[in-house]
Amino acid sequence: MKTTLLAALLFSTSVSAIAAQPEAMKNPLSVHVLNLQTGVPTAGVEVELDQQQEDKWIKLATGVTDNNGRIPALYPQGKTPTSGNYRVVFKTGDYYKNQKQKTFFPEIPVEFTLENNGQHYHIPLLLSPFGYSTYRGN
């Protein structure tokens, strides 16, 4: 009985995860934060997505990294991506404050150009309290 219940639960969880993947895959933007100090994903980092419109930045969405340090779908659901300049702002100061640790960077803004060509944009952040690195991932 326990084996059957466990198998059913695992199957249900796997099906749910597979069903959720296409939505995340359709979303044009994901982010990932990895802690360089510990080598593990960084959960609990708030991330903001902004779009540049003329000389202003307009907030489109926010999210918080999950236990894997990821936000798999940051672009607003139901909104069609448009070409232009965007930025993701990693709220690292808040994260380190919650960890009771000092940091040199209260926020890390990463500006990029999105071309509406159906491609997926992935922005990883390799993070430590006094340095960071980022690149276009896949």
pLDDT at 42 over 90: yes
pTM of the model: 0.80
Enumerate domains of the chain plus CATH numbers.
28-134 (2.60.40.180)
**pLDDT tens for residues 52-87?**
999 999 999 999 999 999 999 999 998 888 999 999
**Residue entry with tokens 């000092």:** 102
In 66-107, at which residue ranges do the beta strands (DSSP E only) sit?
70-71, 84-90
Among 4-8, 38-42, 52-56, 92-96, whose mean pLDDT is lowest? 4-8
SS3 content of the chain, % helix, strand, coil (to 5): 25, 40, 35
**pLDDT at res. 25:** 54
